[in-house]
Structure 1
């Protein structure tokens, strides 16, 4: 096991080049493949999830191992269903524990040939692709938006287009809208026809010559966290825009409540510590679940009690993030409470911290990314298995060093 110890600088003045949005990259890659692969995608991410997608789409081997890339598992399940050939789609042990049944069954109702090789409703899958003639199906609106996006993106490849009905409450609207925006950028005719119905016309994609991917707002959130926890900070982040289709761009508004202002100039966001944080924070993260870990750590170390709702999807991420947050925050002296499997709260209750705490990362990139800034109030913080950041932000530790943080390796 590898371990690093992170130490903070006294202040931060930094210009950081973030990874590009993997949410946009992975959608653009699938859409471009469906459009014939003619578009040059600029600023493509070098993270694990995107590299897995690039390799799968370019090589199309008989067995595609996507590792821990949940986005790739969902998007490729749909993509392979409309592309000729029989392929097996598999991943890590954790990936084989993450449900895929809702998407697979929806595809089956459309005529797709999707088989479970092992446990019913879970990967690995054997998929035989062919033209799908039934373009009508439905999904619960409260499932992962990646299921919905996976179906939408193959819509133009269906003989009769797609008519997708979402039942019940619809969550993660921003990610659905992001998918629609990207599809339209590639010439698709797709959109909402009512508050719970989406339609994609059987109109082929028309590939633009190039497509530029903006920086990742999820990755930006960790620099907002650093700004909030640091006594003095000013951080510039290129390719971040006020009007972004990424749902996690909400981070700028939320961090304003925690004393971080955002100024947009010349295609970049400039973060600065100013103002007084709120005394308590309540928010429903149903549309931004990937920001939850960032705000849990930030609020606790600012001494701000919180109640965060809409976190039910955290249980089926790379790890059970609810349980992981409770365990790791207790090591640092904070007692969190989970309610109804969807609410995480802290009322200010403290406990004795571990005498020599070390953060475990649970094979989850966002555990490492969100906890690293806690070294600022703590003085130093050991983190186990720091390599997990490669999933979404491979050069995170290098960027911290550039900003003045110290990082040394230790024997675990």
Structure 2
């Protein structure tokens, strides 16, 4: 159990570790490339290790050297498998979704599975999209959730479609394997796509590894056959999602935080847009080429469509507790299928502290400046809930977080850096 000590009047600088989202995608692109790649500043976390270890089980040679990864790509072809192989992905939804298409490139019988929570998280839309490309895959329990059985025999490719309203990772999965499909791939997105910045990250990583993606905004994508990934050296920038908790710390305490290894003027990470919301609430933000400084100030509630920033909802929900008036967070119904039902988890745990939080069909209404009292809170095995509760504890005496180690999913060094305060 971790007790958070309230603080104020601080000025700290924090070097932010590599982006989880970019690390997943870079490891996959390097694994599917022809030749040897060097990935610098990769994020060593539970989720990214699931991705790397699964690729190693498919026959990719991956060696760890400090914060660097040496990856010997297979050119999108894997060693044929004899017998059935189980691939355990824990509760890493990103690993599961992105790798489902990668596993289908192989040869043999695979079962992809995970923790009990993972077995409740939808995957059926991606399975159906792969079926349209002649991949033999099915949800074993016939409930559109893992475990998934894949009779892998490469992917023919062609044209498919994917619903956009659950997870953009379905689309990213298909895109990442597109260069390795015999006919390439054309993908039509049905309905409005959620979390679009993560697709931009996928496309950017693919292009950095030599693959061109044709697109019509977020409704149509095409990857032509014949031009595979090229091995290269690639440096992963800091994670804006991880930086957000330090920005929030400054916001609510009136302190000053500078985060290094963040590139606000050029990054594809959509979570950088949390800075604009903090400015609307009353913070002062300084941006330079490779760092961000946030100065806390008097805060006011806002109305925020966070459909493209779902991972930032817990962070903003923590800040909202200390703002005048109410904050309305909208268009994030897809948060119910994350590591936890994040909307419910926020309402429950913030409520334990005395906050007034209302769940809506697609978000939350949070009433600021309430009478908050510290108590024991539970992060629901969700790293982002835990780190957001740590933010709240900087202003509320007596916040004690159970299962604090769950931050290892995305930010193993979080408590070490947090204790700098």
| Common topology (TM > 0.5) | yes
Name the structure 2 match of 1:406: none
Asked whether 1:391 is paired with 2:412, we answer no
Segments of 5+ residues of structure 1 without an aligned counterpart are 404-412
Greater mean alpha carbon deviation, residues 195-204 or residues 213-222: 195-204
- SS at 1:155 equivalent: helix
Structure 2 vs 1, CA of residues 132 and 227 (structure 1 numbering), >3 Å: closer, same or farther? same
Q: How does 1:211-250 map to 2 (within 5 A)?
A: 211-250=234-273
Structure 2 vs 1, CA of residues 308 and 99 (structure 1 numbering), >3 Å: closer, same or farther? same
Asked whether 1:178 is paired with 2:201, we answer yes
Asked whether 1:375 is paired with 2:393, we answer yes
**What's the offset of the Cα at 1:184?**
1.0
The 2-side partners of 1:396 and 1:46 are apart by: 12
- SS at 2:312 equivalent: helix
Greater mean alpha carbon deviation, residues 56-65 or residues 301-310: 56-65
- Post-superposition CA distance 1:135-165 (Å, at most 9, x none): 2001122220000100011111111111100
Structure 2 vs 1, CA of residues 33 and 39 (structure 1 numbering), >3 Å: closer, same or farther? same
Name the structure 1 match of 2:31: 33
TM-score (norm 1): 0.91
Greater mean alpha carbon deviation, residues 245-254 or residues 203-212: 203-212
Q: How does 1:211-360 map to 2 (within 5 A)?
A: 211-265=234-288, 267-274=290-297, 276-277=298-299, 279-340=300-361, 342-347=362-367, 357-360=375-378
Segments of 5+ residues of structure 2 without an aligned counterpart are 60-84
Structure 2 vs 1, CA of residues 4 and 388 (structure 1 numbering), >3 Å: closer, same or farther? same
Asked whether 1:203 is paired with 2:226, we answer yes
The 2-side partners of 1:50 and 1:195 are apart by: 26
User: Per chain length, whose mean CA-contact separation is higher, i.e. which structure has more relative contact order (CA < 8 Å, sep 6+)?
Assistant: 1
Greater mean alpha carbon deviation, residues 227-236 or residues 307-316: 227-236
**What's the offset of the Cα at 1:290?**
0.4
Greater mean alpha carbon deviation, residues 81-90 or residues 254-263: 254-263
- Post-superposition CA distance 1:372-398 (Å, at most 9, x none): 011222133100000000000111111
Name the structure 2 match of 1:401: 419
